[in-house]
Chain A
Amino acid sequence: MVTKSRKPLHKLTANVGGTPMYLVPPPTPAPSGVMDLQPSTVSKTAFREKIWRIASDPERFGGVVFEDNDGNTVTPIDVKIAVCMDAMEEGSFEEALQGLSELIRDPYVVASESLKSEVAFMAATCLNRGAVSQIRRGGADSLQQAASMANQAPTIANIPQIAARSGNIIGVIHSLSTSAGTRVHAQNTFDEALTQDPNLYIASNNRATVDYQEGRLDDAHRKITSALGHRKRDPILKNNRGVIRSRIFDEIERGEESRVGVGAPTADAAFTAARKDFQNAYKFLGITPHAGWDADPRLLADDSKFTGLDASNTELFQLCRRNHIILENKRRPEDDQINVPPPLRSHVFDREDTAEIALQEGVGDEFHEDVVSAHKTEKVLFSVVDRLRGVEVFSFNPVGGATPAQGLCNGLRRLGAEYSGVADEIEDSASIVEDKRGVWSIRGGDWKRRGRIRLDEQSQCVNITVGGFEGSFGAEYTEGDHTLHFYSGSVLHANALKGLCNAAPEARTLEEGKMRNAQQIERVKGHLNTTLKEMGDDPARPRAAGSNLGFKVMGGLNRLEINALMEAGLSRGVRHGLAIRKTLELDITGCGEFFAAASLALKEELSRSTPKRPIRSPPPPRTPLTLSRPPTARPPPEPLAPPKVKPPDNPLDVSFRSRLAAIFGKGKERVQAAKAVAQWFDGDQFKKVAKDHTAVAYGLCGRMRDGTADPHIFGKFNDLVSGGEDLTGETGLTGTGIPELEQHAQALGLSKDEFKEAFFLEFAKRMEKRYPLHDDLVRVVEQGDTAVGPPYALQYVNNFGKLYAVFKNGTKVMHCPLDEQGNPTEWVVAISGDYERKRLRDYIDRRIIGHGNIHFKGVRVPPEWIQKSV
């Protein structure tokens, strides 16, 4: 097959010298109009056969491996697909079909929807291209075989693009007949093809040809113009429109405007338009018309060498020139020695590379890209599943101890040879950059993801952050016998997408595909909405909720945007759904790499150091998480034991101090403040701590060094020391130090001890009543069945009269707005800092003490997780 590249044409066109050129020596002409189905490429065929055999059993050939030019490992299946593609591009359609028919029975292909789609698409394309080659061979047998092949194609890959191309070929076979009845068949077939794929310009062209033959010039003109809308620079189409316009000009000249149709142009307009088409055809063939061009003997000479075109384009040029001369001569009746109907060219006959062009430039290519993309992504997903077999991944929030990216990859290699490929792939296939904070950036190909992996040796857990989404949720994904623990977002993501992926390619027709998509999108939406609802999706914060579902990796789309995107895409048909799938799955791919690396690093780290505590036994087997599975309901929380509230008998005892410390929390400044206050109450230490009066004042007046004064506690203190009278202005009590407090004591006529006791008792009474404190306030939510529940420890304290919750180590508080009754409405946790992870594990009892709703970075914990405090 002579393959014509558009590039040389462009080069020729760019040379505006105006004379015929010899820039490209003409290739060896192919046998005129005949394509040999078995080209004499014995060595190439043998080479492909050899590659095929090696790919069928690489181990038997010394364990060879396949790589592409970028150093990426290539699977044997991909190699075989490449072999088939190579044969097909060479025109060895039977060889390609033989390979594809073997491939389509391959168990690996059978197991993969996307691979099946890809192979079927190739086979169908191969059949169509084989049919075209048969048509070129000519003869009744060849046409029969061509029809048979073209008819088979849609049954192998029932997608509109294939069906449209097959229909076009069948239509061309019909149109070969001179009978009017068969032309009607051809016309209908082209119409059906255009219904399947309105972008199929060759069908538009061929339909225009039929219209032209039938004398429907206006219809023909519309169709050919439509075809040119898809391929503006195609010389065949330009020639054909020139012919149609020539005929229009001819009819008008003869006074037969009625045959042209409604809105007939003037003769001059038709002539100019037709001439322009022919000139454009020359131009796109690489020949620039110039003044007197049509009289140029070289152009008129019937010698292809003057044009510098290959055989097929020379033929096209000659045809175009002939039609043009007819037009020009009709303009000059005195030279009317040529008066034959100008021929049109049926596209499928004239360019053997039609199918190839369609693959390279047409819609079919887009579909193919989708299929290939999905196939590659699916492979990555499967490989991630393979890598993570038996490995439990816990996702935690950032903790100290960043693990270098390189260390992770090295760790993977130390785990065993089977993991070295994973490490290589991570290192080689993407550019990994690690900054000082241990943040990874992985870039590769046309996707970019950022992530962070940290390892917490103490808790033996890995924290993963991907795409700005901090891993806060655990979930599971079951593949065969293996269960993976993923982010909930990723699992939802994956399942939703798997559902979407599976819907479209299995459909037998476009309508069925749309129906399946509609059903699927409803399931996906239902699942997403259910989960969002359970997570307390707040309409005011869709972006945060979306982020926590893992959708932020999609570029910050919120839930509504995602739904709209999916719905809009799927409602427009299979291809758009696939395109969206491609976009989404790349994100999963990115996540998968992180999971793989992180989990294996964890394993490596654990094997290196003997853990002080045994690793928790793996959770009991869970039901695989699927799209249709309703989120597993968490077991109702155990009723919280009544708080052991016990007003202190002696405010100066140790428990008082520890309780005071608990009130203040565990921040450095808070501890300091708590100590100071305790010591201040402790008479013996009064003078000693006086020097640190600032801390005492801060503590008592509810003001931290960061300047966040707490008017509530300040007011309480004011009430306390003043007996309800506002002494602020009078005493100048601004919380700046002990002298003021002493003044207050004196003003109240109390000794220091009396003041202290009164203060504490009143303080404790009010606070304990309102916000009971007890020793077992730490409650932990473990990553749970419903894919919600980060292992956060919560301890809430009535710090300064306003409800706060602190993590066990007291690093960060959560702000808690109060309602009119002073009850907390919701808790918002600011997550950062260290946790005592080992202790958390001990305290896991799936309960959180709280009031109302609790937010973790904007995600509301389901109400059943929350037990109202007594």
Chain B
Amino acid sequence: MDSVGKPLKLADVKIIIQSKDDKGNVVEKVLREEEIMALKSSWEESDGD
């Protein structure tokens, strides 16, 4: 439970993506700014195909 009262700043928001490693374990990764910009939606990916 975070303390209440202060609005969340965009700079404090982390975007995390989950993936699986070779052993099938779920791995979480915090995306950097350039990775966020490079992130594509499934629609965009299908368009690319």
List residues of chain A with CB under 8 Å of any chain B CB: 46-48, 50-51, 53-54, 57, 60-70, 72, 74, 78-79, 81-83, 85-86, 368-369, 372-373, 376-377, 380, 425, 429-430, 444-447, 582, 586, 589, 593
Contact = CB atoms under 8 A, between A and B. Distances in A.
A373 B4 contact: yes
Main secondary structure of the interface of A (DSSP, over half): helix
Contacts of B42: 60-62
A865 to B, nearest CB: 38
B2 A61 contact: no
B2 A429 contact: yes
A78 to B, nearest CB: 5
Contacts of A373: 4-5
Given A47-B33, A60-B43, A368 B12 contact: no
A636 B7 CA distance: 52
A47 B36 CA distance: 8
Given A60-B41, A85-B9, A66 B4 contact: no
A580 to B, nearest CB: 14
A445 B1 contact: yes
Contact of B37 (A47, A83, A425, A586): A47
Contacts of B27: none
State the 10 A-B residue pairs at the shortest beta-carbon distance, nearest first: A445-B3, A86-B10, A444-B1, A373-B4, A369-B5, A60-B41, A82-B10, A429-B1, A82-B8, A67-B14
Nearest to B30: A67
A62 B36 contact: no
Interface residues on B, range: 20 to 34
Nearest to A593: B1
Contacts of A377: 4
B6 A51 contact: no
Contacts of B11: 86
B25 interface: no
Contacts of B36: 47, 50-51, 54
Interface string B35-49: 011011111000000
Contacts of A54: 15, 36, 39
Contacts, number: 111
Given A54-B39, A430-B1, A444-B1, A372 B14 contact: no
Given A65-B15, A70-B2, A380-B1, 4 more contacts: A61-B41, A62-B39, A430-B1, A446-B5
B41 A74 contact: no
Contact of B2 (A53, A65, A68, A86): A68
A65 B18 contact: yes
A361 B15 CA distance: 30
Contact of A68 (B14, B17, B43): B14
A78 B14 CA distance: 12
A445 B40 CA distance: 36
A68 B15 CA distance: 9
A113 B36 CA distance: 32
A54 B40 CA distance: 9
Name the residue in B6, B15, B37 with the highest tally of chain A Cβ atoms < 10 Å from its Cβ: B15
B25 to A, nearest CB: 15
A67 B17 CA distance: 11
A372 B6 contact: yes
Contacts of B13: 51, 66-68, 74, 79, 82
Contacts of A445: 1-4
A593 B1 CA distance: 10
A833 B18 CA distance: 48
A403 B3 CA distance: 28
Contacts of B37: 46-47, 50
